[in-house]
Amino acid sequence: MIVRAAKAGIIAVAVFVSSTANAFFDTPYITPAQPMAGEPMVVNIRGGNCDALFSLPGFPRITQVGNDIRIVYYSFHSDDIEFCIFDVATAHLPIDGQPPGTYSYSIARVYNNFLNQEVEETLGVVPVTVIGGSVDAQPVPILGRVGVTVLMVALAAAAWVQRGLRG
């Protein structure tokens, strides 16, 4: 009976003394929502506290198979509240544009755990439709001197005919 009470007491103390880490990344999104062909895009990822994204050589790792694109960013992650030192912020990470079509961007992060093992985690999959490029300027036909002269004669004739009908 005393052992059970001691266990319950230890568990109660542990629950009230322990703190949870506030590590998080929200679902990423890409802007602009409907990019033009070749237009650069931006991956936006909100996160913080115990998680942060960093720019390291070799990152981001980008692989593409058909229209499926995987982008892996390097990040810091901690389960220990002592290392939760980052502000909550949104990272804006530029990526290259694509030709017209429908794409699936898989956004992931990689970090080293407490055993220094690399852990890869998918943050979200974002579908993107890239629309055709800008329309080239097309020449618009205009009236030259001859066309303006013919138009003026036609208007004058129409006015003369109209005046003659009113009589």
Q: Give the pLDDT confidence of 101-126 residue by residue, as tens digits.
A: 999 999 999 998 888 899 999 999 99
Which residues span the domain enclosing 71? 20-130
Q: Is there a domain that residue 125 lies in? A: yes
Q: What pLDDT is stored for residue 24 in this prediction?
A: 83
Residue with tokens 């993107």: 128
Q: Give the confidence band of 54 by pLDDT, cuts at 50, 70, 90.
A: confident
Q: What pLDDT is stored for residue 14 in this prediction?
A: 44
Q: What pLDDT is stored for residue 105 in this prediction?
A: 96
- Which of these, 128, 137, 103, lies nearest to 35 by C-alpha position? 128
pLDDT tens sequence across 133-166: 655 556 666 777 887 788 888 888 888 888 777 6
Rg (CA), the chain: 32
Long-range contact set of residues 112-121: C-beta below 8 Å, sequence gap at least 24: 113/77, 114/79, 119/77, 120/72
Q: Is there a domain that residue 29 lies in? A: yes
Q: How far apart are CA 143 and CA 150, in angstroms?
A: 10
Q: Is there a domain that residue 156 lies in? A: no
* pTM listed for this prediction: 0.65
Q: Is there a domain that residue 59 lies in? A: yes
Number of domains in the chain: 1
